Structure 1
């Protein structure tokens, strides 16, 4: 479970930190992402009153928020803000936005009439396609890199991509589940051989970190902006529906009812848990959380759905997060290595959206909705000056 989700938990933080120039804050932010992921997973597995699904619902930083979080960061940066101001605005709007999902969790049955599979499929596809630009930029060397698009960078990113593809084609399910982690490790080894990273730089980065990362609520302050808040609120709306699908799949694999009062209570508790954990994430300096779907594959593979396994997963993630040296090492991953991995992950997000749309009976009305949505959604992405 930890191998299947680890890269997903830390990658949004690495991308946001790199794009917004958060530098020295990244190891601490990674630590907080891991700790909150562990605490959120425990809440979902243990279930506290109405909060939590009572199943293995691994919580992690959501890729869906990446675009709107970066947009909020650029708003703060555009006003002359430094890292503290950027993070203050991001965590402020994410904290208040979490209440959107918390409230919606109690009206899921009614919400499905408005947020249909067509709407969800379109939004997830647009999110995935817009994020591919981030992955490809990293693969080429990173934003404004002096060696952008060099043969070395493309070789390194391409090698990671090739390893992940080969492992995903393997008959061994364990290799398929661990493909992203193994791809990153292989990429780090190749980068070391190519001289892209040095052991001395890693040791120096570790030596600059404290022994323990202590969670400090709202360490960077709390601020708000309506323009930055609205896109975040919409994504919270979409993730509430997306999590419903992931939780239903978890119920099916775990042989729990997928109809009736107990099912509805479990789903409401899971989505409420997502919202509460996202609120917790913002309070403790990390980005919104959601239920990871890849861990349903692990349950299916192992045949073990006991929620007590979730306690161990939570413990491992919290322990990893307590040591900032983990974040310091991960910060040294070269951009092309990260890009090779994220290109697959973001492509997978887009493909998941296409899969939802493919299940729809597309009449003329639905095709028009898709045409206008893709036109405007991707139009803004391609012409951001608008």
Structure 2
């Protein structure tokens, strides 16, 4: 191990108040857990809300999907922190519903449209079938980690992450305008919707720039609360719809059944491939912040276990009617901020998420958030995802080969997003695989990065 890495780990240990295996007092444990929950709660519930809005699911279905996302995130976080056999990193790793899969999941859900009308059970069965089968890709990558890192280089990862953000911005701005419901009733883009979205966006930016760390951590929550209050004053939220909420959610495995579409499976499989590499980076950062090794057999065991858990937990999510999970990078910053790296805190976070997922009123309450209010928050979130991808790209050596890979990948990826009709004459399986700019751009990046060879003769 390099001397600089040893010094970095020693510095991290000295900055920690509680290390990985410490057990903080109950009050401090609960306080640290609440801060982590504050940082991740909105991010966990947002993907099911966006997917439900795009596929026009009813309030009951949307609420159930939100509840199951919380429930599964609790199970997944426990597995990551506790490490069960070879599964899990054994670090304070928080898992939640991933944004990366939204576009291909919506595409898979559209297979449930029959006679111009969405069949909810049919659409969800295609989604969960594809998510379950494709999760095997990430589990396989965990066993072949050293080789996968040679295929999915930082340049490829940066391109895919940037495309994820850029493609999701379309979903964000669609929500700002009022969503699919507003499109159907002809009110899309009204001043009322755009005004609420702008209010939420400005509130989040304002509080995020605060020097008070609690206001900064809660900026998204505060922005949504302000937006929902304004929407309630405008008569856009009706709490009477909550009367039908039951007392408790009983998780029902395979509630919507399973159906399989090859195009959807391949499309999601690519995202799992890239997610595995992202998880490797998150585990590396978490290990360093927690004062643990970042190379050698102990670290490799953690990394392989964490990525295996990422795939296994996504498989588990499909069983319990939820969407793929991934490690949340923002919690690494929370560890650094609080000085608490104890995985014991993770058990409390997991327990809280698990319990929240059991109460239908929680899911249905958040399902009442108007699309435009959610759009104001997600627009910024998705822009941040794209910016993160650009940072990854910027950290690589941008030579002539990299420029060519970037150019062809973004050109191919954005072309199918901007002009989706280009694939209208293709066979259904080709259309389903490449209708997502993330998949098209990602596949292009992997192939181009592997095939393009440039040998410069002399100086440019």
The match for 1:119 is 156
Q: Of the candidates 176, 192, 199, which is equivalent to residue 159 of structure 1?
A: 199
Q: TM-score w.r.t. structure 2 length?
A: 0.82
Contact preservation (8 Å) 1:43, 1:52: yes
Q: Distance in 2 between matches of 1:160 and 1:141?
A: 14
Which structure 2 residues correspond to residues 164-313 of structure 1 after superposition, within 5 A? Answer: 164-197=204-237, 201-202=238-239, 204-313=240-349
Q: TM-score w.r.t. structure 1 length?
A: 0.97
Contact preservation (8 Å) 1:34, 1:321: yes
Q: Does 289-298 or 173-182 show the bigger shift?
A: 173-182
1:26-62 Cα deviation digits (max 9, x unpaired)? 1111111000000100111111010001111111110
Query: What SS does the aligned partner of 1:69 have?
Result: helix
CA-CA distance at 1:144 after TM superposition? 4.8
Q: Distance in 2 between matches of 1:326 and 1:240?
A: 31
1:297-345 Cα deviation digits (max 9, x unpaired)? 1111110000000000001111111001011111110111100000011
CA-CA distance at 1:193 after TM superposition? 2.1
Q: Distance in 2 between matches of 1:266 and 1:149?
A: 48
The match for 1:63 is 99
The match for 2:40 is 5
Structure 2 gaps, min length 5: 1-35, 423-460
Q: Of the candidates 133, 145, 148, which is equivalent to residue 188 of structure 2?
A: 148
Contact preservation (8 Å) 1:75, 1:228: no
Query: What SS does the aligned partner of 1:112 have?
Result: helix
Q: Distance in 2 between matches of 1:315 and 1:35?
A: 9
Residue 101, structure 1, aligned to residue 141, structure 2:
no
Q: Distance in 1 between matches of 2:112 and 2:415?
A: 24
Instruction: Give the root-mean-square deviation of aligned CA atoms.
Output: 1.1
Q: Of the candidates 379, 384, 388, which is equivalent to residue 352 of structure 1?
A: 388
CA-CA distance at 1:194 after TM superposition? 2.5
Q: Distance in 2 between matches of 1:144 and 1:284?
A: 28
Q: Does 39-48 or 137-146 show the bigger shift?
A: 137-146
Q: Distance in 1 between matches of 2:64 and 2:77?
A: 20
Q: Distance in 1 between matches of 2:299 and 2:390?
A: 27
Contact preservation (8 Å) 2:56, 2:180: no
1:209-246 Cα deviation digits (max 9, x unpaired)? 21111111100001101011111000000000011111
Moved over 4 A (4+): 78-81
The match for 2:53 is 18
Bigger Rg, which one? 2
CA-CA distance at 1:170 after TM superposition? 1.0
CA-CA distance at 1:76 after TM superposition? 2.9
Q: Higher RCO, 1 or 2 (CA under 8 Å, sep at least 6)?
A: 1
CA-CA distance at 1:173 after TM superposition? 2.1
Query: What SS does the aligned partner of 1:244 have?
Result: helix
Q: Distance in 2 between matches of 1:26 and 1:144?
A: 14
Query: What SS does the aligned partner of 1:70 have?
Result: helix
Query: What SS does the aligned partner of 1:64 have?
Result: coil
